[in-house]
């Protein structure tokens, strides 16, 4: 599970941290050093784009406020009013607490941010809690991630974020199929409001 946990952590870091942050730059440097062509392409696409364009795309896709084309929080999709910190966030918060994990980013942000969910999945895999990691995926992440990542890919202004969204979704689908996960069927309220 080492490779899987590492990939979840790295993808989560790119979805959560600013592309110009030290964390994201370290991840992109590790992608550049890989033999995998897809990872190299993602890293190269970040280097071929101006930093201010990457920051603007990050903000509109993964951090911003107001009218976002692909909000990164599960509650935007899974709660009837699309409310952040809604019932799906509270369910995920309870799951985290039951697992003995803490998710304090220092920001007043819902724990159900897609990047945080990727990183918490990684943490559980590192602790050999495959069942817990799979529960995050099947109950909390996959009920909204395909919608969110597809919208992110379609609305990205940079090749970097379009490729990251496509790769992230492909990885999730591959991992879930490999683990034979049954994804919880939950209503997508975000599509109904568009």
pLDDT one-digit tens code per residue, 92-132: 989 999 998 877 666 667 889 999 999 999 999 999 999 99
| Structure-token pair, residue 16 | 């959560």
Residue 50: per-residue pLDDT:
93
Residue 12 burial (CB count, 10 A)? 23
Residue 67: per-residue pLDDT:
81
pLDDT one-digit tens code per residue, 11-52: 999 999 999 999 999 999 999 888 888 888 999 999 999 999
Q: Is the distance from CB of 85 to CB of 74 less than 8 angstroms?
A: no
Domain locations in the chain as residue ranges:
1-179
Fold of 1-179: TorD-like (1.10.3480)
Q: Is the distance from CB of 153 to CB of 164 less than 8 angstroms?
A: no
Partners of residue 73 on adjacent β-strands:
113
Give the span between the Cα atoms of 117 and 46, in whole angstroms. 23
How much is the pTM? 0.92
Q: Long-range contact list for 37-45, CB < 8 A, 24+ apart?
A: 38/163, 38/167, 39/167, 41/163, 42/160, 42/163, 42/164, 42/167, 45/158, 45/159, 45/160, 45/163
User: Which residue, among 54, 53, 82, 52, has the nearest Cα to 70 in the 3D structure?
Assistant: 82
Residue 189: per-residue pLDDT:
77
Looking at per-residue confidence, does 81 or 175 come out higher?
A: 175
Residue 60 burial (CB count, 10 A)? 19
pLDDT one-digit tens code per residue, 147-164: 999 999 999 999 999 999
CA–CA distances in Å: residue 122 to residues 13, 115, 126, 130, 137:
11, 11, 6, 10, 11
């Amino acid at each position: 599970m080492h490779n899987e946990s590492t990939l979840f952590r790295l993808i989560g870091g790119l979805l959560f941290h600013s592309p110009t942050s030290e964390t994201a730059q370290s991840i992109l440097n590790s992608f550049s050093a890989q033999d995998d062509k897809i990872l190299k392409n993602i890293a190269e696409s970040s280097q071929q784009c101006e930093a201010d364009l990457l920051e603007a795309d990050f903000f509109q896709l993964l951090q911003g406020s107001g009218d976002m084309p692909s909000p990164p929080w599960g509650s935007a999709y899974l709660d009837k009013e699309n409310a952040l910190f809604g019932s799906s966030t509270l369910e995920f918060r309870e799951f985290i607490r039951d697992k003995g994990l803490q998710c304090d980013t220092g920001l007043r942000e819902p724990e159900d941010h897609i990047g945080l969910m990727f990183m918490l999945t990684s943490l559980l895999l590192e602790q050999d809690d495959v069942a817990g990691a799979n529960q995050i995926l099947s109950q909390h992440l996959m009920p909204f991630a395909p919608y969110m990542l597809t919208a992110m890919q379609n609305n990205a202004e940079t090749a970097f974020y379009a490729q990251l969204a496509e790769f992230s979704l492909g990885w999730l689908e591959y991992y879930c199929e490999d683990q034979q996960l049954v994804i919880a069927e939950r209503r997508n309220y975000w599509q109904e409001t568009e």
